[in-house]
Amino acid sequence: MTEPNSAPSLDEKSVQEAASLAARASDAQKQLAELSQTQVDRIVNAVADAAFNNAEALASAAVDETGFGVLEDKIEKNIFASKKVYEFIRTMKTVGVISRDESRGLIEIAEPFGVVAAIIPSTNPTSTTIYKALIAIKARCSIVFSPHPSAVRSIAKTAALIARAAEAAGAPKDSVSWLNTVTIAGTQALMRRREVAVILATGGLALVREAYSAGKPAYGVGPGNAPAYIEASADIRKAVRDIITGKTFDNGLLCSSENSVVVDSIIGEEVRREFQSNGGYFLSESEQKTLSKVLVTPQRLPNPEFVGRSALEIAGLSDIDVPPDTTVLLATLDGVGREYPLSIEKLCPVLSFYEVPDWRAACERCKEILRYGGMGHTMAIHSQNDEIVLEFGLKKPAFRIIVNSPTTHGSIGLTTGLDPAMTLGCGGYGGNITSDNITPKHLINVKRIAYGTSSTSRQHTRPQSQSIRLPQPPVRSTEENIPSSVILERIDKKIAAEDGPARDTTNSHSQATQGLQSMPVDFVCEDDVQKAIREDRPILINERTIVTPAARDLALTHKVFREEGLTRIY
């Protein structure tokens, strides 16, 4: 509580501002909802024009304030957000009747979701603000921005520009607003305000979890850690150029930028030479250790001092001597996880490098990389073999498989046919509500008028001449009739075989299932694993369980995880 006659704290100011902005945005929302498609499109066009015409000034403001990235690339991102996104949504119907299906007797009507709380990151502050404003207004949703504390000025400048353009074109006042006093408490309060209908959250895992716990529908996007696989049939020169292009674009600040390179060993040396001829510098073992200590924090996160820096700047900060034409730093690794710090997501031009025997081994390595902080996000495959490309699409826990293109550009729809977007859903793998690239369609609800198309008179009787063929039950495997005791015995034998002859399996099942929950958990952190170790019990997970890198490493060491179905413990 604030003492009498004392000035309110920053948190209190931020919370009060969040309440005021949400209330005013709600009033604006009611007016926005009454606009016609023509009026909405006029506003959207004005906002896109204003952002496009100020792309360079806004990019400069972002670089000056945050120190992140490359000015030219931030300009390109602003142009993408204001031009490419606008061109994609320009003809989209978002008001009134949006479709009719005469054969099914259906009429669909768009309804705006409501007030949007938009969390903006420091890595892509101006382009994300432009993009989220466009898709919100197109859906007739008012929007309140919560800037990252280190990018408040550039985000506020962008939002103010958008607000002026929108109001001049006929948008209600307060359709676009933003927090000026930014604290964690204020952002949390904004997301929990009753006036807010939906949250667009872009940021780290903690922020995304906070958005999903706010009690509102939320589109949250977490880390990427995208691997790029170069298969033996690939155009090696193009593949390497694409990877360097993606990784150096804005110094690797997009969460979908490449973080690892996985290469078939048969072409490994050729790929290395190609990287070197394009400014790639392969770190020695001692240089890798040096870089690991300064680039990766004890929490297994990239050091903010290195985020968005060039390869030359990173080398200088690490006291590593590299040629002046160095574009990316590469670390040859043998594994993924806590023992290999440079296998995490690196928001800068540093790549981990792996050689594998074939595409099957590459498949498994890419899974490991994605599980270490990039579940559901993005990966790339460079190959001319369509069968292998399809196998990767079928088996990888990523929802954007970019083929023969940089992941950075391909994932957002700049060089692929994906919907142009700066917010990329990670689906169930990543704990998100959708795997889509987020567009205005995700900010509208659809009413459906449904005409009757058949009579109910035959629901309870049928002519004797007619017969109904019920679907046949699926053929069950005889394995399903095996007694549970036999199944458990097989499990124990499998565990013993995996752990070696020294393991005592007499009580393995009873020990493993002691305290085991009946359903897989949704999320596991390091504290959860430590508690399970203390209580001598496993944790049941499945492919959709979100596991933090620290938790996975600890669980692997102590064999805490049990996969759904009790097929193995690790």
Is 353 inside any structural domain? yes
Residues 408 and 509 in one domain: no
Is residue 463 included in any domain, yes or no?
no
Is 426 annotated as catalytic?
no
Flag whether 133 is in a domain.
yes
> Residue 495: what pLDDT?
47
**Pair (251, 304) in one structural domain:** yes
- Residue 458 has a pLDDT of 57
Please tell me whether residues 81 and 204 are part of one structural domain. yes
Task: Report d(CA 397, CA 409) in Å as an integer.
Answer: 20
- Asked whether residue 266 falls in the same domain as residue 341, the answer is yes
Of 141, 255, 348, 363, the active-site residue reads 255
Mean per-residue pLDDT over the chain, rounded: 87
Tokens 């929302």 belong to residue: 29
At 259, which amino acid appears? N
Please give the residue range of the domain that contains residue 261: 226-418
Q: Pairing between strand 96-101 and 398-403?
A: unpaired
My answer on whether 41 and 189 are in the same domain is yes
The C-alpha atoms of residue 225 and residue 429 are separated, in whole angstroms, by 14
Q: Is residue 557 part of a domain?
A: yes
Report the alpha-carbon distance of residue 97 to residue 444 in Å, rounded. 13
Output b/e per residue, 50-86; b: 16+ Cβ within 10 A.
bbeebbeebbbbbbebbebbbeebbbbbbbbbbbbbb
CB 540 within 8 A of CB 512: no
Is 471 among the domain residues?
no
DSSP 242-274: HHHHHHHGGGG-STTSEEEEEEEGGGHHHHHHH
Assign residue 396 the CATH number of its domain: 3.40.309.10
* Distance from C-alpha of 260 to C-alpha of 223, rounded to nearest angstrom: 14
- What does the buried/exposed string (b/e) look like for 118-154 if buried means 16 or more CB atoms within 10 Å of the residue's CB? bbbbbbbbbbbbbbbbbbbbbbbbbbbbbbbebbbbb
Is the residue at 426 inside a domain? no
Query: Which residue, among 2, 24, 127, 136, has the nearest Cα to 76 in the 3D structure?
Result: 127
Q: What is the predicted pLDDT for the residue at 95?
A: 96
Residue 371 and residue 272 in one domain: yes
Instruction: Classify residue 93: in a domain, yes or no.
Output: yes
Q: What is the pTM of this model?
A: 0.79
Q: In this structure, is residue 569 part of a structural domain?
A: no
Give the domain CATH number at 107.
3.40.605.10
Is 235 found in the same domain as 363?
Answer: yes
User: pLDDT tens, 500-511?
Assistant: 444 343 333 333
**Based on the domain organization, do 79 and 162 belong to the same domain?**
yes
Structural domain ending residue among the three candidates 428, 447, 466: 447
One-letter amino acid for residue 556 of the chain: L
136, 116 Cβ separation under 8 angstroms: yes
Q: Print pLDDT tens along the chain (570 aa).
A: 455 567 789 999 999 999 999 999 999 999 999 999 999 999 999 999 999 999 999 999 999 999 999 999 999 999 999 999 999 999 999 999 999 998 889 999 999 999 999 999 999 999 999 999 999 999 999 999 999 999 999 999 999 999 999 999 999 999 999 999 999 999 999 999 999 999 999 876 777 778 888 888 999 877 789 999 999 999 999 999 999 999 999 999 999 999 999 999 999 999 999 999 999 999 999 999 999 999 999 888 899 999 999 999 999 999 999 999 999 999 999 999 999 999 999 999 999 999 999 999 999 999 999 999 899 999 999 999 999 999 999 988 999 999 999 999 999 999 999 999 999 998 988 888 899 999 999 999 999 999 998 877 655 554 454 444 444 444 444 444 444 444 445 545 544 554 544 434 333 333 333 444 568 887 787 888 888 888 888 998 887 777 777 778 788 888 888 876 544 444
Give the C-alpha distances (Å, rounded to integers) separating 443 from 88, 199, 344: 15, 10, 32
My answer on whether 203 and 175 are in the same domain is: yes
Instruction: Please tell me the total count of domains within the chain.
Output: 3
pLDDT tens, residue by residue, 393-441: 998 899 999 999 999 999 999 999 999 999 999 898 888 889 999 999 9
52 & 168 share domain: yes
Residue 566 is encoded by which pair of tokens? 């009790």
Same structural domain, 75 and 195: yes
- Inter-CA distances, 172 with 2, 25, 142, 334, Å: 35, 9, 9, 57
